[in-house]
Structure 1
Amino acid sequence: MVMDSTDRFDKSPLLDGGSSSQENSTEYTGDGSVCTSGHPASRKHTGNWKASSLTIVCSFCCYLAYSSIGKNLVSYLTKVLDETNLDAARHVATWQGTSYLAPLVGAFVADSYLGKYRTALISCTIFIMGMMMLLLSAALPLISAGPHAWTLWADPISSRYIIFLVGLYMVGLGYGAQSPCVTSFGADQFDDTNEMEKTRKSSFFNWHYFSINAGSLIAGTVIVWVQEHEGWLWGFTISTLFVTLGISVFFLGSIVYRFQKPGGSPLARIWQVVVAASRNFDKVLPCDSSALYEFSGQGSAIEGSRKLEHTSGLEFFDKAAILTLPDCESPGQLNKWKICTVTQVEELKILIRMFPIWSAMVLFAAVQEQMFSTFVEQGMTMEKHVGSFEIPTASFQSIDTLTVIMLVPIYERVLVPVIRKFTGRANGISSPQRIGIGLCFSMLSMVLAALVESNRLQIAQSEGLVHSKVTVPMSILWQGPQYFLLGVAEVFSNIGLTEFFYDESPDAMRSLGMAFSLLNISAGNYLSSFILSLVPVFTARGGSPGWIPDNLNEGHLDRFYLMMAGLSLLNIFVFVFYARRYNCKKAS
């Protein structure tokens, strides 16, 4: 019998729980989850909505704080730290990319060693420390001025910039690392072996996304208004308090949580398959796949994972599960670097098959990132007054958020039941179909943004404002439809992608699955940053200011949006090509 990979790890009460016949009874969960004391989790007293709702509150508070920074970061960088439009857009894209790269770190630690709960607590602590740094950065001008100024700061401007950047990236690291852990931990509160709880888990993702967008709405309206009118010190203070509230609620709910044991290092299992398959590259696969090696017990050899059925395709990796005569004679001494189970092989094959779907979503994330950079810069050049009220540019992003908040209940309560009558699917449409619809809406958003910018440039020319860095007499309300379409795209693609990666990921890699669903956002932000870096190289020549100069009245931001729309159309064809050929996992 293959040694369980988790034998190497610490067996604390939170993570350890012996197998029991009670786990299969109706009183206890059937997915191997345990309570905080390490005993089988009670179906009645743990998990379900009473537990997952606490993770939703934590996500709401954390995203509110994170979003309050991201939505108005361009304004802070340009107005407070005096960066150029291009540098600010590049910094925003890089920071957000880093924020969505951090989930890989958090997910790996959670799935391999500490579990999702502990990893989330540590990450949230880093988040709070980062917010404290931002608070110090905002307070530095008060500390370094006046008769009682601190002499510690030899160069207050440079010190403020360094403290801000350190705090900013600590916020990105802390938020990013906790995100996949809290989300997948919330989904773990529903037992896959119970049909009723399994249905609730599907709804969890919709309402989780609904809650973080509610936090985004408050951040984009109330918090951004406070930042612009009462000062950044007050804005950062409110955000810090929300993070503290979120982690407190998450911690206080420990007694009602269900915990899944970490399944050991996913990277080790992946490399074991690669090495074992390479060792057996000259061996012939058996005609009957049942002759391949699999753990003989009821469950999988991987802690916290069900067995996966063998699938066709990627046959090279199947060679890692070829049984030889010496293996059959000494089954208790099998070397995992020489032979792997079918389930372990299928884990790697699942990841390989998901990669094309993931890669097709990178450009979608790059389009979404424009909402936080070029959309804001475009809005800063437009008339922001509606009567006597001035709309903060970043607050206009609340249209996207309101769209999500309105459409999520409509989607779950109206669209899904209607579509279900025609498709016969419990969720109405499949996750890949949902993602594809969102891709189409994101492309339309870029087309609309180009039309708005083209009209704005025409007004600037007719008013003689081309060479003046001033606002153009065109209402910012014209930006509304492009934000609306991005909101519709989110409801379809973002939630669809989250469902897809949670459902299709191997059981012992679900935190990593959630991290990969966020990693495409990181890659998209880096792609956006890369594209923005290339724009002046190819467009600012021969005295031309380029497409995105400091004075947008002299540029052609509309051409940039049209280019993104064209790339989005090409991306839709790529996505459809791979989605139609994707084989879903088969868990026994």
Structure 2
Amino acid sequence: MKMQGQDNHNSMDHLAVTKEEKELEVYLDEGQKSAYEQREKPEVHTRDGTVDRFGRPAMKCRSGGWKAAILILVNQVLAIFALYGVLVNLVLFLTRVLRESNAPAANDVSKWVGTLYLFSLVGAFLGDSYWGRYKTGVVFQVIFLAGLVLLSLSTHLFLLKPAGCGDVNLMCEKPSFPKVVLFYISLYTIALGYGGYQPSIITFGADQFDEQDSIEGLSKVAYFSWFYLALDLGCLFPNTILAYFEDTGNWLLGFWMATGSAALALIICLAGTPCYRHFSPGGNPIPRFAQVFGAAIRKWNVSAPSQSDQLYELPSKESAMGGSKKILHSEEFRFLDKAATLTEDDKISAAPHNPWRLCSVSQVEEVKCILRMLPIWLCTIIYSAVFTQMASLFVEQGAAMRTTISGFHIPPAGMSMFTILCIAACIVIYMKALVPCAIKFTGNPNAFTEFHRMGVGLILAVFSMVSAGVVEVYRLRIVDNSHAQNTLGIFWQTPQYALIGASEAFMYVGQLEFFNGQAPEGLRSFGSALWMTSIAMGNYVSSLIVTIVMDITRRKNKPGWIPEDLNRGHMDRFCFLLAFLTALDFIAYVICARQYRGIARSMDNNTDDPHQRI
């Protein structure tokens, strides 16, 4: 009877998987069906080593897939809604409520956004090493929610004085220093929560797809585009309706709506707990990295063998990091191969090998993977410096233009609606038109690589800043000729917002796929954090450029390029400067991308191309 019950249970599992197969097949195009038909009989458990919440091997029919990923995507829509409920008009809040001037306010926004994304390293470290991605995501979401509650309360109790202040007409009283400190504590608590949560949840969503399964592997690639589309949709309401309410002085409404959205996001994340797949944390990577450099330095006078099969590797299937696949040897950074070189002392030692003297090839290749990605990462920083202008200088430029069209006031931050719509259009067109056409004419599903997408994003960013500069030239010309202010309509900003949106769709989605796909398996959250830290560094670079430009251009009693009154400045020159720097960055990017060689993993006759190039 027991055996019969078990047979019935296995039969039901098989039926469930077969039903899932039939449902999936409806959504497959011809290329995907071909890959699907090549697959052997359906498997009950995943092959990538994921487990359920109890630590048992994850079952395909009961966990992961789109049913889990959709919950994470909805969570992202609500979380980004909460973040942008604060960010979208933050520069105006600083100038109207805290009484800061334009350049310092733009710098403060850039520093805050930069710190927010820099906190991603904290979340990635804890998620990959100790807590796991799910627990890390939940803990930092709680911190994020706490920061929003504190922000709403501090604004209500201390900052909006007199009542109704903070709109375009009535400035608030300059708050005392302790009140400003409390505001910034709440603001940076939000940064810690959202920044720490984001890389874990990005990678956790990708973990719901088994990349060793032909169908789920395709879904995993598509997930990053849908993820960014979810971020885009979550920005739509804050950048339009909420931006309008905040611009008219209803700051509390915006902040409390953001708080409610963050609370709902946390609830939805927790609701999917029974159906998530998990990777076990792989331990602290810092000692492993230090061991590679330490062993290589100790053996600086040892010659590494020319044949990779003569280097030391663990006999087991996994690498030194628990659960991860072995990584094949690569030719770059040959000095580090000394760490995996067997010396006579290593061979005659009966004791287990000391990792500070001898490392496996996979352990060495983990370090090489990160080192290879760094030049590409550096080339994305200038782009992020351009992107951050949308939340600072673009808004200040719009505030200096005519914002009333046919009797209706257009909030300056609301112009980012065109960015959001353009992102959504570009992602859909790319996935539904460009990729199928490329596959049809070339037969190559990877006709558009992540390198192509990032390169297109850089070029479009150049055009966006040129467009912003041209608009500013005409705005200043009209002001000078008419001796009046706000004579150029705000909708002249539409091209620059649309172009930065198109560039974002290509650049940031490409970065997500690249850094997540090329990172070692146990450091996937770190790969997502690289994307976020490029945004962080871009914000810091933007702040640095603004500071340097203002220090240079304010000499001899001149107002500078970005003064309090933009009509007396030359923001157009600043935009052209950023366009020039981005063009130089594109040249450097092409050089680095053409020399890049991708990661090669050992995995059951399925190896990534080790020679991926632009």
Taking structure 1 as the reference length, the TM-score comes to 0.91
Q: Structure 1's 393 and 142: CA in aligned 2 closer, same or farther, altered over 3 A?
A: closer
Q: Does 1:370 align with 2:389?
A: yes
Larger deviation: 328-337 or 357-366?
328-337
Instruction: Indicate if the aligned counterparts of 2:89 and 2:247 stay in contact, CA closer than 8 A.
Output: no
Q: Does 1:432 align with 2:451?
A: yes
Larger deviation: 267-276 or 424-433?
424-433
Q: Aligned equivalents of 2:551 and 2:142: distance in 1?
A: 41
Partner residue, 2:264: 245
Instruction: Indicate if the aligned counterparts of 1:263 and 1:508 stay in contact, CA closer than 8 A.
Output: yes
Deviations along 1:10-52, one digit per CA (max 9) or x if unpaired, are xxxxxxxxxxxxxx98100111111011110001100000111
Aligned-residue offset at 1:142: 8.8
Deviations along 1:69-89, one digit per CA (max 9) or x if unpaired, are 111101100011110001100
- Matched residue of 1:286: which SS? coil
Partner residue, 2:364: 345
Aligned-residue offset at 1:420: 2.4
Aligned-residue offset at 1:324: 2.7
Aligned AA for 1:33? T
Instruction: Indicate if the aligned counterparts of 2:97 and 2:160 stay in contact, CA closer than 8 A.
Output: no
Partner residue, 2:278: 259
Select 1:483's aligned residue among 489, 497, 503: 497
Q: Structure 1's 143 and 398: CA in aligned 2 closer, same or farther, altered over 3 A?
A: closer
Select 2:515's aligned residue among 470, 479, 501: 501
Unaligned runs of 5+ in 1: 1-23, 147-154, 466-470
Aligned AA for 1:74? V
- Matched residue of 1:302: which SS? coil
Q: Structure 1's 554 and 245: CA in aligned 2 closer, same or farther, altered over 3 A?
A: same
Aligned-residue offset at 1:157: 3.6
Partner residue, 2:534: 520
Q: Structure 1's 81 and 320: CA in aligned 2 closer, same or farther, altered over 3 A?
A: same
Aligned-residue offset at 1:160: 2.9
Partner residue, 2:323: 304
Q: Structure 1's 542 and 143: CA in aligned 2 closer, same or farther, altered over 3 A?
A: closer
Instruction: Indicate if the aligned counterparts of 1:136 and 1:163 stay in contact, CA closer than 8 A.
Output: no
Q: Does 1:452 align with 2:471?
A: yes
Instruction: Indicate if the aligned counterparts of 1:35 and 1:258 stay in contact, CA closer than 8 A.
Output: yes
Instruction: Indicate if the aligned counterparts of 1:417 and 1:428 stay in contact, CA closer than 8 A.
Output: no
Aligned-residue offset at 1:386: 1.6
Aligned AA for 1:480? T
Q: Aligned equivalents of 1:231 and 1:366: distance in 2?
A: 30
Aligned-residue offset at 1:289: 1.0
Q: Does 1:190 align with 2:209?
A: yes
Q: Aligned equivalents of 1:156 and 1:80: distance in 2?
A: 8
Deviations along 1:316-353, one digit per CA (max 9) or x if unpaired, are 00010012344344576111111111011011111111
Partner residue, 2:353: 334
Deviations along 1:180-210, one digit per CA (max 9) or x if unpaired, are 0000000000001101000000110001100
* 1:192-231 mapped onto 2 (5 Å cutoff): 192-229=211-248, 231=250
Instruction: Indicate if the aligned counterparts of 1:131 and 1:167 stay in contact, CA closer than 8 A.
Output: yes
Q: Does 1:51 align with 2:68?
A: yes
Instruction: Indicate if the aligned counterparts of 2:159 and 2:175 stay in contact, CA closer than 8 A.
Output: no
Aligned-residue offset at 1:423: 4.1
Aligned AA for 1:192? E
Aligned AA for 2:579? A
Aligned-residue offset at 1:300: 2.1
Q: Does 1:554 align with 2:568?
A: yes
Q: Aligned equivalents of 1:282 and 1:143: distance in 2?
A: 67
Q: Aligned equivalents of 1:270 and 1:330: distance in 2?
A: 23
Q: Aligned equivalents of 2:350 and 2:541: distance in 1?
A: 49
Q: Aligned equivalents of 1:49 and 1:492: distance in 2?
A: 23
Aligned AA for 1:293? Y
Q: Does 1:403 align with 2:422?
A: yes
Q: Does 1:414 align with 2:433?
A: yes
- Matched residue of 2:564: which SS? coil
Q: Does 1:529 align with 2:548?
A: no
Partner residue, 2:482: 463
* 1:70-81 mapped onto 2 (5 Å cutoff): 70-81=87-98
Instruction: Indicate if the aligned counterparts of 1:449 and 1:561 stay in contact, CA closer than 8 A.
Output: yes
Instruction: Indicate if the aligned counterparts of 2:438 and 2:445 stay in contact, CA closer than 8 A.
Output: no
Q: Structure 1's 428 and 490: CA in aligned 2 closer, same or farther, altered over 3 A?
A: same
Instruction: Indicate if the aligned counterparts of 1:423 and 1:429 stay in contact, CA closer than 8 A.
Output: no
* 1:99-178 mapped onto 2 (5 Å cutoff): 99-141=116-158, 157-178=176-197
Instruction: Indicate if the aligned counterparts of 1:140 and 1:160 stay in contact, CA closer than 8 A.
Output: no
Larger deviation: 133-142 or 367-376?
133-142
Instruction: Indicate if the aligned counterparts of 2:85 and 2:257 stay in contact, CA closer than 8 A.
Output: no
Q: Aligned equivalents of 2:201 and 2:159: distance in 1?
A: 37
Deviations along 1:537-566, one digit per CA (max 9) or x if unpaired, are 111121211111111101111111111111
Q: Structure 1's 460 and 272: CA in aligned 2 closer, same or farther, altered over 3 A?
A: same
Q: Does 1:90 align with 2:107?
A: yes
- Matched residue of 2:487: which SS? strand
Q: Structure 1's 156 and 556: CA in aligned 2 closer, same or farther, altered over 3 A?
A: closer
Deviations along 1:440-467, one digit per CA (max 9) or x if unpaired, are 00000011111000000000000114xx
Aligned-residue offset at 1:159: 3.6
Q: Aligned equivalents of 2:385 and 2:557: distance in 1?
A: 29
Q: Aligned equivalents of 1:481 and 1:412: distance in 2?
A: 23
Partner residue, 1:21: none
Deviations along 1:242-261, one digit per CA (max 9) or x if unpaired, are 00000111011110000101
Select 2:413's aligned residue among 394, 397, 412: 394
Partner residue, 1:581: 595
- Matched residue of 1:383: which SS? coil
- Matched residue of 2:488: which SS? strand
Aligned-residue offset at 1:232: 1.0
Aligned AA for 2:450? S
Instruction: Indicate if the aligned counterparts of 2:143 and 2:190 stay in contact, CA closer than 8 A.
Output: yes
Unaligned runs of 5+ in 2: 1-40, 164-173, 603-614
Instruction: Indicate if the aligned counterparts of 1:459 and 1:472 stay in contact, CA closer than 8 A.
Output: no
